[in-house]
Amino acid sequence: MKVFVWLSVVLYAVSVTVAAPQGCTHKVKEQIEPPRGWVKLAPAPPDHIIHLRIALLQPNFTQLEQALYEVSDPDHARYGQHLSKEQVEELVAPHSESINVVDEWLASLGIQQSELSRSSAKDWVKVKVPVSLAEKMLDTTYHVWQHTESGDTIVRTTHYGLPEDVHGHVELVQPTTIFSRFRGMKTTYRLTSSNQQASDSGAASIRSASGTVVDASCNSTITITCLKELYNATGYNSSATNGNTIGITGYLEQYANFMDLQSFYAQQRPDAVNSTFKVTLINGGQNNQTLSAAGIEADLDVEFAFGLTYPTPSYFYSTGGSPPFIPDMDTPTDTNEPYAEWLDYILGVPNPPQTISTSYGDDEQTVPESYAQRVCASFAQLGARGVSLMFSSGDGGVGDGDPDPATQTCYTNDGRNVTRFIPGFPASCPYVTAVGGTTYVPEVAVFFSGGGFSIYFAQPSYQTAAVASYLAKLAPGTYQGLYNPYGRAIPDVSAQANYFLVWNAGEPIYVGGTSASSPTFTGFVSLLNDALISAGRPPLGFLNPFLYSRGVAGLTDITAGNNPGCGTEGFNATVGWDPGKLLNCEKSGWLTITIAVTGLGTPNFGLLKDIVLS
Ligand SMILES: *[C@@H]1O[C@H](CO)[C@@H](O)[C@H](O)[C@H]1NC(C)=O
Ligand SMILES: *[C@@H]1O[C@H](CO)[C@@H](O)[C@H](O)[C@H]1NC(C)=O
Ligand SMILES: *[C@@H]1O[C@H](CO)[C@@H](O)[C@H](O)[C@H]1NC(C)=O
Ligand SMILES: *[C@@H]1O[C@H](CO)[C@@H](O)[C@H](O)[C@H]1NC(C)=O
Ligand SMILES: *[C@@H]1O[C@H](CO)[C@@H](O)[C@H](O)[C@H]1NC(C)=O
Ligand SMILES: *[C@@H]1O[C@H](CO)[C@@H](O)[C@H](O)[C@H]1NC(C)=O
Ligand SMILES: *[C@@H]1O[C@H](CO)[C@@H](O)[C@H](O)[C@H]1NC(C)=O
Ligand SMILES: *[C@@H]1O[C@H](CO)[C@@H](O)[C@H](O)[C@H]1NC(C)=O
C-alpha cells in the first residue's frame, strides 16, 4: 500500500511525515504544483529506467562562497589567488556521515556500491533505477507528463520524500520535480540578398559609441573584423602556447561543423584557415560531422568565439542526455537537465579552460529552486578555480521567451498564477556573468535581450549600488509586484546580438540572439586572460566583482535605443547599469512586456586590457 500526502496549496519547506512501504518513515522533501502548460497522461511504465542524481549536503559551502568573492575582488588581498581542484573539493565535500547514511539507505534497497557513480567531490551520487524502485525509494508515483504546446513528454512527479534518517543529509533528488524544457536560446535569420534591417548612411566608416571607427557595413552585418573594430581589439595577437584556452558548451544535439568553420575562416579570418578545435564528448554526446547535421547554435558559438581568439587553443563540449522529445507515451524521455552532466565532467578536469561560454537556458521558474541553487553552487566552484563563465541572458525580454508573443505569458507556475516578469536561468545565478544584447552602430539595446530580476537568488553585494542607483531613478511604484527588486539583476554586460554572418551546413546565413552576444563577450574575456597569462598573471576568474568596480571604466554604457511601445514608454535608459527599455504591447487583451537590457554595457578591449594589466 502506498500512502502519500497531497496538499492543494503548498509553499516551500513542507515537512509532513507519512508511513512508507517498508515500515520506515518518509518525510516529504519537495512538493510542487503541477506546472502550467503540462498535463499528466498516465502512470510511468514500472520498468522505465531513471537516472537518479542524489545531491548530498555541502556543509561548508559558505566558506567556498567567501573564498570565491575574495579571490574575485580586485580590492581584496587574495585577488587572483584561485583555489585548486582539491581545495575546492574539500570545501564542497559532504560530511562522511552523509556518505555513509546514503550508502546504507541505497544498500537497504538492494543497490550495490558498484552500481553507484560519484562526482569528483563525492557531493553527487548517481544511480540508474527502474521507476518501480525509484517510487519505493522516494515514496512517490511517477507519471508521464506532456507539454501541451510542443507535445514533449517526460517522466516526472510533483512530490517526493526521503526516509527520516536520510532526509537531513540530502539536498535534493532529481529527476523528480524538474519540468524544465531547456531550449537553446537562439533566433535565426536566413541570408537574404541584402539585409534590409539597417540603414546605410553611405559613408565608408562609422563611429561607435566608444569612439572607435568601424566599417559602415557593420551596421547590418557582423563579422570578426567588425567586432574587433567595434570593441577596440584590432591588432591584438593572442598566444597559441601560453596556456590560455577557451571553451564552448554544446547541448541538444548541436554539432559544431569543421567544414563550416573552414568556410567561415576563409571568409572572415583567413590566417586561421586549417586550424581547428578539440571536441570533448560527455554523457553520450555525439560529434556528427555530416554537413546537414551542423547546428546553427553550435556553428555560431564556435565560429565567433574561436574566430575572435585564434590561435588560442579551443574546446567544444558536446554533452548528451538531452531530448529528442518523442511525443509518444510509451517512450517518454526522463533526461536530467544536462548542465549537471557537463559540470560533473568539467569539475573533474584538473585544468579547465579559463573562459567558457554557454548559450542555452530556460525560464528560471521551470527549474525547481533547490536544483537551481545547487547547480549555481557548482558554477561557484569553477569561479573559485579561476574560470570565467558567460551565459546568454535569454531572448524573451522579461517574458517567458515564447517565440509567439500572442501566447507569451508572464504567469508564475507555482500555483499562485500571478503576473510576474520571468528571468532566465542559469543567467540568474549570481556566480556567472549574464550577457545581454545590442544591435546597430552606434549600439542600442536589442528588443529581445533577456533581463530583469531573479526570484530565487538574492541580489549579490557586488551589484547592489548599481541596481539601487538605477531603481532610485524609477518613478515610485513603477511595475511594482512584477519584479523582485531584491533579486539578482541581469544582465551584467552586453554585446552585439544581431546580423551575425555565420556559416552553417555549407551556407552563409544571418543569425541573431543573446546566443551571439555570449560567445562574443567571451571572446574578449579570453583575450584579456591571454594578456594576463602572457604577463605571468592569474586569469580573471569570476568576473562580476571586477566588472562592477574597476571594470566599469572599460565598458561602454549603452544609453540609447528606446523601442517605444504600444502605449507606454517603459523604463528609461540611464547612465550606469540598466535593465534597458521596456516595450509594452496590448495583445489579445493582456499585456506583453518586453525589456531590452544592456547591464553595464559592451566591452572596450583596449581599455579593459590596460585596466587588468595596471
Ligand atoms: C567544515 O569546516 C569545519 C571548520 O573549518 C571543519 O571542521 C569540518 O571538518 C568541515 N567539514 C567538512 C565536511 O569538510
Ligand atoms: C544603423 O542602422 C540603424 C537602423 O536602421 C540606424 O538608425 C542608424 O542610424 C544606422 N547607423 C549609421 C551610423 O548609419
Ligand atoms: C599581430 O600580428 C600581425 C601579423 O603577424 C602583425 O602584423 C602585427 O604587428 C601584430 N600585432 C602586434 C600588436 O604585435
Ligand atoms: C590548408 O591545408 C590545405 C591542404 O593541406 C593546403 O592546401 C592549404 O594551403 C592550407 N591553407 C593554409 C592557409 O594554410
Ligand atoms: C548524422 O546526421 C545525419 C543527418 O542528420 C544523419 O542522417 C545520420 O544518421 C547521423 N549519423 C549518426 C551516426 O548519428
Ligand atoms: C492564470 O491566470 C490567467 C489570467 O487570469 C488565466 O488566463 C489562466 O487560465 C490562469 N492559469 C491557470 C493555470 O490557472
Ligand atoms: C522617462 O522619462 C520621461 C522624460 O524624462 C518621463 O516623463 C517619464 O516619467 C520617465 N519614465 C519612467 C518610467 O521613469
Ligand atoms: C582603445 O584602446 C587603447 C588602449 O589599448 C586606448 O588607448 C584607446 O583610447 C582605446 N580607444 C577607444 C576609442 O576607446
- Give the model confidence (pLDDT) of 8-22 as tens digits: 222 333 333 433 444
606 lines ligand 8 (CB under 6 A): yes
CA of 34 to the centre of ligand 6 (A): 13
| 217/342 Cα distance (integer angstroms) | 38
Whether 270 has a pLDDT exceeding 70, the answer reads yes
CA of 508 to the centre of ligand 4 (A): 21
Residue 111 and residue 134 in contact, taking contact as beta carbons nearer than 8 Å: no
Question: pLDDT tens across 458-494, in order?
Answer: 999 999 998 888 888 777 887 777 778 899 999 999 9
CA of 206 to the centre of ligand 2 (A): 9
Whether 51 has a pLDDT exceeding 90, the answer reads no
288 lines ligand 5 (CB under 6 A): yes
Whether 195 has a pLDDT exceeding 90, the answer reads no
Q: Is 557 annotated as a binding residue?
A: yes
pLDDT category at 395 given cuts 50, 70, 90 is: low
Mutate to test the pocket of ligand 8, among 207, 232, 552, 608 (most ligand atoms within 8 A of CB): 232
Average pLDDT over residues 67-82: 98
Q: Please indicate whether residue 217 is annotated as part of the active site.
A: no
Provide the sign of the torsion angle of the four alpha carbons 114, 117, 123, 129, taken in this order: negative
Higher pLDDT, 82 or 440: 82
Average pLDDT over residues 171-181: 88
Beta strands 590-596 and 246-250 are: unpaired
Whose Cα sits closest to atom 11 in ligand 6?
A: 417
CA of 90 to the centre of ligand 1 (A): 8
Closest C-alpha among 290, 317, 289 to residue 302: 317
| 383/71 Cα distance (integer angstroms) | 9
Whose Cα sits closest to atom 12 in ligand 1?
A: 95
Whose Cα sits closest to atom 5 in ligand 5?
A: 293
For the CA of 478, the nearest atom of ligand 7: 13
Please provide the DSSP assignment of 318-335 as one string. Answer: EE---------TTS-B-P
Whether 444 has a pLDDT exceeding 90, the answer reads no
Residue 72 and residue 541 in contact, taking contact as beta carbons nearer than 8 Å: yes
Whether 30 has a pLDDT exceeding 90, the answer reads yes
Whether 305 has a pLDDT exceeding 50, the answer reads yes
Mutate to test the pocket of ligand 7, among 563, 572, 581, 593 (most ligand atoms within 8 A of CB): 572
In sequence order, the 6+-apart residues with CB closer than 8 A to the CB of 383 are: 68, 72, 389, 431, 432, 541, 542
Whether 55 has a pLDDT exceeding 80, the answer reads yes
CA of 609 to the centre of ligand 3 (A): 17
Kindly identify the ligand whose nearest atom is closest to the C-alpha of 478: 7
For the CA of 570, the nearest atom of ligand 7: 13
Instruction: Tell me which of 60-74, 104-118, 236-250, 548-562 is least confident.
Output: 548-562
Q: What is the pLDDT of residue 337?
A: 64
Q: Is 301 exposed, middle or buried (0-12, 13-18, 19+ CB in 10 A)?
A: buried
Q: What is the pLDDT of residue 418?
A: 73
Q: Is 576 annotated as a binding residue?
A: yes
Average pLDDT over residues 88-104: 97
Question: pLDDT tens across 543-565, in order?
Answer: 999 999 999 999 998 865 433 22
For the CA of 582, the nearest atom of ligand 7: 13
For the CA of 237, the nearest atom of ligand 3: 1
Whose Cα sits closest to atom 2 in ligand 4?
A: 274
Kindly identify the ligand whose nearest atom is closest to the C-alpha of 269: 4
607 lines ligand 8 (CB under 6 A): yes
Q: Is 328 annotated as a binding residue?
A: no
What size, in residues, is the chain? 614
Secondary structure of 467-488 as H, E, C letters? HHHHHHCCCCCCCCCCCCCCEE
Residue 367 and residue 336 in contact, taking contact as beta carbons nearer than 8 Å: no
Distances (CA, A) of 457 to 123, 368, 484, 592: 22, 12, 10, 24
In the chain, list all ranges with CATH 3.40.50.200. 184-321+338-613
Backbone angles phi, psi at 535, to 5 degrees: -90, 10
Kindly identify the ligand whose nearest atom is closest to the C-alpha of 407: 6
Mutate to test the pocket of ligand 6, among 8, 9, 33, 417 (most ligand atoms within 8 A of CB): 417
Strand ranges inside 320-474, DSSP E: 355-358, 362-363, 388-392, 424-425, 433-439, 444-445, 452-458
Mutate to test the pocket of ligand 4, among 268, 274, 275, 276 (most ligand atoms within 8 A of CB): 274
Kindly identify the ligand whose nearest atom is closest to the C-alpha of 217: 2
Q: What is the pLDDT of residue 36?
A: 79
| Per-chain mean pLDDT for the chain | 83
CA of 428 to the centre of ligand 6 (A): 25
Whether 347 has a pLDDT exceeding 70, the answer reads yes
Q: Choose, from 139, 171, 229, 297, the residue flagged as catalytic.
A: 297
Question: Grid coordinates 511517477 are at which residue?
Answer: 142
Amino acid at 305: A
Whose Cα sits closest to atom 4 in ligand 5?
A: 293
CATH of domain 184-321+338-613: 3.40.50.200
| 136/138 Cα distance (integer angstroms) | 6
Provide the sign of the torsion angle of the four alpha carbons 68, 73, 77, 78, taken in this order: positive
Residue 263 and residue 284 in contact, taking contact as beta carbons nearer than 8 Å: no
Q: Is 152 annotated as a binding residue?
A: no
Q: What is the pLDDT of residue 34?
A: 83
CA of 95 to the centre of ligand 1 (A): 8
Whether 349 has a pLDDT exceeding 60, the answer reads yes
Whether 602 has a pLDDT exceeding 80, the answer reads yes
Kindly identify the ligand whose nearest atom is closest to the C-alpha of 203: 2
Q: What is the pLDDT of residue 401?
A: 52
Q: What is the pLDDT of residue 551?
A: 96
Closest C-alpha among 59, 15, 54, 28 to residue 163: 28
Secondary structure of 562-579 as H, E, C letters? CCCCCCCCCCCCCCCCEC
Q: What is the pLDDT of residue 341?
A: 86
Q: Please indicate whether residue 301 is annotated as part of the active site.
A: yes
Q: Choose, from 171, 229, 301, 334, the residue flagged as catalytic.
A: 301
Q: Please indicate whether residue 515 is annotated as part of the active site.
A: yes
Q: Which helix (H) or strand (E) holds 502?
A: strand 500-504
C-alpha cell at 520: 562574443
C-alpha cell at 312: 588560442
